[in-house]
Amino acid sequence: MKRLLPLILLLPLAWCACVSKSNVKPTTIDKGTITATIGGVDETFNISDSVYYVPKQPQTADWVFKASGWAANGDRIWFIVDYQAPILAGGTYNNDDPTRPINVTISYIMPGKQYIASYPSPVSVSITAFTSTNVQGTFSGSPANNGEVKSVTNGKFNLDFATPVTITQ
């Protein structure tokens, strides 16, 4: 029995070494990236456009947060939150109620085809962290093109603003 003890103790280590880690998704992502599972395929988008958060027009109370990025294969994603109040950390913005003063849109663009989700399609953007220089959060939606839907799930972003923004509480 004493000879089998080291073998028994090593079995869990051997099992752990054989387990595939391909389904493990990070809980955080690198700055300057947007990640999402689109139509069942994981994609990473790098920010090449500016990320901004500004008043829509100086004379209104509307605020706009917009971000977009490009994948290595030429696909592009962008999302926008247009809200009649400041956008804050801890807020979840969705377009499931037409009476709310909000517009949330996700667009997924492949070469030659664009999928868009806005009201009445369910779209959600949650802001988990927001500073004057960085915004982080999650998103999901079901952008469509002529009835063909590309499900967007597990969306995450960690983005720096091109210039620091003023946060209004």
Tokens of 128: 């988990």
Q: For the segment 8-64, what is each residue's pLDDT rounded down to a tens digit?
A: 443 343 333 333 333 333 347 788 889 999 999 999 998 766 676 665 555 555 677
Q: Which sign does the torsion angle of CA 96, 98, 104, 109 carry?
A: positive
Q: What is the mean predicted confidence (pLDDT) over 143-154?
A: 93
Instruction: State percent of the chain over pLDDT 70.
Output: 69
Pairing status of strand 33-38 against strand 152-160:
antiparallel
- Sequence-distant (≥ 6) Cβ neighbours of residue 5 within 8 angstroms: none
Can you name the residues that pair with 33 across neighbouring β-strands?
Answer: 46, 158
Position 21 scores a pLDDT of: 34
pLDDT at 76: 93
CA 160 – CA 107 distance, rounded (Å): 20
pTM of the model: 0.74
Residue 67 has pLDDT above 80, yes or no: yes
